[in-house]
A and B are shown apart, each in its own frame.
Chain A
Amino acid sequence: MRRIVTATVQNRSGVLNRVTGLLAKRQFNIESISVGRTETEGISKMTIVVDVPDTQKLEQLTKQLNKQIDVLKVSDITDKAIVASELALIRVGSNAQLRSEIQGIIEPFRASVIDISRDSLTVQVTGKHEKIEALIDLLRPYGIKELARTGLTAFLRGHQPQVTEMKNYSILK
C-alpha cells in the first residue's frame, strides 16, 4: 500500500541523515521524500511517500520515526482530507510546428512552458501524483529529454470532514 507520512522535525544537524538512514536500514521502500522549512523557525517538515506491504510494517515506520529524538510528530495522512502536490519539470523534444500542439496538451493540466529552445521546450507542472503521471504519459511520444520531480509534499486541509475514519497507528495516543 502506498502511504503518505509526514514528519515534523527539529532542524538540527544530522536529522535528515538520521531519518533517511533509518528508512534505509529498516528496508522501507521509499517512493519520494521531500523536506522543507515550515512556518515555525527551526522546524522542518518531511513528506515521505512509502510503499509498505501491510499495516504492521506501516506501524513500525511511524514508531521508528517517532522514536528519533529530533522528530516531533509523525502522521499518516493518507486517509485524511489533504492537499498534496508535487512539481515536475519535463523537457520534451519539439520544434516550431509542434509547440502549439504541446501547448494544447498541457493546458488542461494547468502546466506552463517555462523554457524554449530550438529543438525542445520545458514544461512545469504541479499537482497530484496521478496528474503528473498522466501528463508525462501524454508527453512521452514527443520524446522526454529530461525529467526532474520534487516528490510529494502535503498537509491536512483546514477542514476535516466528520465522517473520515481516522486511523491512528500510535498506541501512545
Chain B
Amino acid sequence: MKVEAKPHYERNTDTKPKTGADLLVDALIQQEVKTIFGYPGGAVLPIYDALHRAGDSFHHVLARHEQGSIHAAEGYARVTGKPGVVIATSGPGATNLITGIADAMMDSLPIVVFTGQVARGVIGTDAFQEADVMGITTPITKHNYQVQSLADLPRTVKEAFHIASTGRPGPVVVDIPKDISSEVEENPPSVDFSLPGYQPNLKPNPLQVKKLTDALAHAKRPVILAGAGVIHGKAAEELKTFAESHSLPVVNTLLGLGSFPGSHPLSLGMGGMHGTYTANMALYECDLLINIGARFDDRLTGKLEHFAPQATVAHIDIDPAEIGKNVPTQIPIVSDSKAALEELIRQSKEIPHVEEWLETLKGYQKEYPLWYNNPESKLVPQWLLEKVHDYTGGNAIITTDVGQHQMWAAQYYKLEKPNRWVTSGGLGTMGFGFPAAIGAQIASPDDTVVAVVGDGGFQMTLQELSLLQELDLPVKVLIVNNEALGMVRQWQEKFYEERYSQSLLNTQPDFVKLAESYNLKGMKITSQQDIEEKLPDALKTREPMVIDCRVLREENVYPMIAPGKGLHEMIGVKPCEES
C-alpha cells in the first residue's frame, strides 16, 4: 500500500488551509455528530488521520466487522431518531456494509455512510480495492454521491444529512476518493445547497383529512393500523389521543410496535403473519382502515385479495409512492404522521358508534388469545420472553435478530413506548440484533438493553462481543438457543414434511466460555427454575452479560398465516390444534 505524506494541521484554525478530510470532520461537527461507527483502511487513511487530529470531538466505535458498524449505527438511529454515521474504506470495507445499507433502506432508518474510494485518477481501472460503490448502492439508498471535487465536499455532507433525516428517512452514501480527502483547500468552500427535486410534503391537505373524518363519522368497524411512520414522526402521543377520543382499536405492524401502548385496552397487538388473531380479524372485517405510516408489507397483508376486503382505505404516509402501491386507497393523505394526526384531531367532531365492533373484538381476544403450552419440566421460549418482560418491567430497549425469537419477542414483550424496539423488519437480516443493541446502548447508556437473538443469527456477528468488553456496555445478550435455525426448521416441519435440510445446529460453541474469552460474564439457563433464580439479577446488573437460554427445540411460532393465505385463514389459533 502506498502511504502518502499527509500535512499536519492544528484543529480549530479555520483560516489555515485544510485537507478534504478536515473539511469532512468540520462538517460532521457542524451536524452535531457525536458517535461514529467505522473501520479504517487504505482509502480512508486521510479521514482517520483527520479524526485523530480532531481528538475527542467524536466517540469512534471500532466494530470488528463493517456489518457490525452499520447495524450498530442502525440501532443508534432507531433509538435516537438521529442519523447514524458510518465510515468504511473502499472495496471490501464498502461491500461489507451492503447488507446494513439495504436493511436501513427497507426500514427507513436515517444512516449516513462515508466510503473511501480509490483516487480519481484510477477510478474505473480496477485499481486495488476499487469497487463501484455508486453502482452497487444506487438501488439500496435513498440517495448516493460520489464527491467529484473538494469544493463539493462540505455541501455534499450537508445534503446527505438533510436527505437521510428528513421526509421518509433512509440511508445516504457519500463516496469520497482518497485524493480528495488528502487534497489541501486554501479557501473553505461554500456549504449552501438547494435540492429543488427534494421537497417532502409535511402538512396534510385539510380536504383529504376531511374526507377521512367524514368516513370515520359513519364507520361501524374502523381500525387504525399504526406503523413505524408514527415513530419516525414522533406522533405516539397524538395517536393515543386520537384513538382514545374515538375509541378506535389499534393494530401495530412489526416495526410500529411501541407506537401505541401494548397494554392499552384499545391495542389489538401486532397484525400479520404471526400477529394476533384479533388484530388480523380486525383488519379483515373492518369497514374503515386508517393506515398511519405503514407500507402494507406482504408479511402484514397476507394474500391481498383477502386484505380488508370491505374497507374504505385511508393511508397517511410521508412517502406518496407508498400510497396505492400494494392496496388500492380511497383516501390518500400525504403527510408527516404527527401533522396529519393533529389535523385529524382538530377536525373530527363526530364520534363513530363502535360499541358493537369493540365487543366483537373483545370476544375474539377472549376466545383466541396468544397461547403456548408450558410444561413445567421444559423451558419454552414464549414463557422466557414473558419473564424478560416482567423482570425488566416492560421498560427495556429490546433489539432482536431474525427468526422465531423475533416473533416471540414481538408477541410477548409488550412495548409501552416508542423508540425501544429495534428489529430488522423489511430485509429480515440475521446478524442484526446484537450489533444493533450496541448502538442502542451507546445511544441510551442508562437503559437496560436486551439483545434477543437466536443461536443462528448471533453467530453471524458475535465478533462484536469485543465492544462490550472494550466500551463496558451493559448489553444483555439473550440467546434463545434452540439449537436450530428455528424459523427455517418450523417451515420445513410445516411445509416440507419435516425434511430438516440444513436447519439443525448440532454443533455449537460453548457460549459461556465464549463470553469469558472476551472477559464477559456468561451464564447458561436450562430450566424454569434457572430463570426464576438467575434471570432477574442478570438483567439488572450494570455489566454486560451473555445468557445462553436452552429452550425447547420443537417449539413453533403461532398463530400463523401460511404463505399465500389470507388474514382470516390463520392456523394454530387454539391450543387444541397443536398437540
Chain A residues packing against B (C-beta within 8 Å): 9-10, 13-14, 17-18, 21-22, 25, 56, 59-60, 63-64, 66-72, 170-172
A69 contacts across to B, CB distance below 8 A? 142-143, 163, 195, 197-198
Q: Are A60 and B321 in contact (CB under 8 A)?
A: yes
Q: Are A56 and B328 in contact (CB under 8 A)?
A: yes
Q: How far is the CB of B115 from chain A (nearest CB, A)?
A: 14
Asked whether B320 is an interface residue with its Cβ less than 8 Å from the other chain, the reply is yes
A-contact 0/1 string along B166-196, CB 8 Å cutoff: 0000000000000000000000000000011
A-contact 0/1 string along B318-339, CB 8 Å cutoff: 0111011100100010100000
Q: Are B134 and A64 in contact (CB under 8 A)?
A: no
Q: Are A171 and B139 in contact (CB under 8 A)?
A: no
Q: A70 CA to B196 CA in the complex, in Å? A: 8
Q: Are B139 and A25 in contact (CB under 8 A)?
A: yes
A56 contacts across to B, CB distance below 8 A? 324, 328
B325 contacts across to A, CB distance below 8 A? 60
Q: A15 CA to B568 CA in the complex, in Å? A: 44
Q: A128 CA to B319 CA in the complex, in Å? A: 36
Q: Are B323 and A171 in contact (CB under 8 A)?
A: yes
A13 contacts across to B, CB distance below 8 A? 134, 145-146, 148
Q: Are A17 and B321 in contact (CB under 8 A)?
A: no
Asked whether B556 is an interface residue with its Cβ less than 8 Å from the other chain, the reply is no
A68 contacts across to B, CB distance below 8 A? 143, 197
A-contact 0/1 string along B134-152, CB 8 Å cutoff: 1100110011111010000
A72 contacts across to B, CB distance below 8 A? 196-197
Q: Are B321 and A64 in contact (CB under 8 A)?
A: yes
Residue from B135, B144, B320 with most neighbouring chain A CB atoms (10 Å): B320
Q: How far is the CB of B329 from chain A (nearest CB, A)?
A: 9
Given contacts A14-B134, A21-B138, A56-B324, contact A171 B146 (CB under 8 A): no
Q: A67 CA to B146 CA in the complex, in Å? A: 20
Chain B residues packing against A (C-beta within 8 Å): 134-135, 138-139, 142-146, 148, 163, 195-198, 201, 319-321, 323-325, 328, 332, 334
Q: Of all chain B residues, which has the CB nearest A68?
A: B197
B319 contacts across to A, CB distance below 8 A? 67
Given contacts A13-B146, A72-B196, A171-B332, contact A66 B138 (CB under 8 A): no
B197 contacts across to A, CB distance below 8 A? 9-10, 68-72
B142 contacts across to A, CB distance below 8 A? 69
Q: A71 CA to B142 CA in the complex, in Å? A: 13
9 smallest CB-CB distances across A and B, nearest first, come from A63-B321, A69-B143, A72-B197, A69-B198, A171-B332, A67-B321, A21-B138, A14-B134, A71-B197
Q: A18 CA to B145 CA in the complex, in Å? A: 11
Q: Are B324 and A17 in contact (CB under 8 A)?
A: no
Q: Are A66 and B143 in contact (CB under 8 A)?
A: no
Listed by A's residue number, 15 A-B pairs whose Cβ atoms lie within 8 Å are A14-B144, A14-B146, A17-B138, A22-B139, A25-B139, A59-B324, A60-B321, A60-B324, A66-B320, A67-B321, A69-B143, A69-B197, A71-B197, A72-B197, A172-B201
Q: A17 CA to B146 CA in the complex, in Å? A: 13
Given contacts A69-B163, A71-B197, contact A21 B139 (CB under 8 A): yes
Q: How far is the CB of B324 from chain A (nearest CB, A)?
A: 6
Q: A25 CA to B321 CA in the complex, in Å? A: 15
B328 contacts across to A, CB distance below 8 A? 56
Q: How far is the CB of A21 from chain B (nearest CB, A)?
A: 5
A60 contacts across to B, CB distance below 8 A? 321, 324-325
Q: How far is the CB of B270 from chain A (nearest CB, A)?
A: 27
Q: A145 CA to B332 CA in the complex, in Å? A: 53
Q: A22 CA to B201 CA in the complex, in Å? A: 22
Given contacts A10-B197, A67-B321, contact A172 B334 (CB under 8 A): yes
Given contacts A13-B134, A72-B196, contact A63 B320 (CB under 8 A): yes
Q: A14 CA to B136 CA in the complex, in Å? A: 11
Question: Which of A17, A25, A66 lies in contact with B134, CB distance below 8 A?
Answer: A17
Q: Are B334 and A171 in contact (CB under 8 A)?
A: yes
Q: A21 CA to B134 CA in the complex, in Å? A: 12
Q: A69 CA to B144 CA in the complex, in Å? A: 10
18 additional contacts (CB under 8 A) given A17-B135, A72-B197: A13-B134, A13-B145, A14-B138, A14-B145, A17-B138, A25-B139, A60-B324, A60-B325, A66-B321, A67-B320, A67-B321, A68-B143, A69-B195, A70-B197, A171-B332, A171-B334, A172-B201, A172-B334
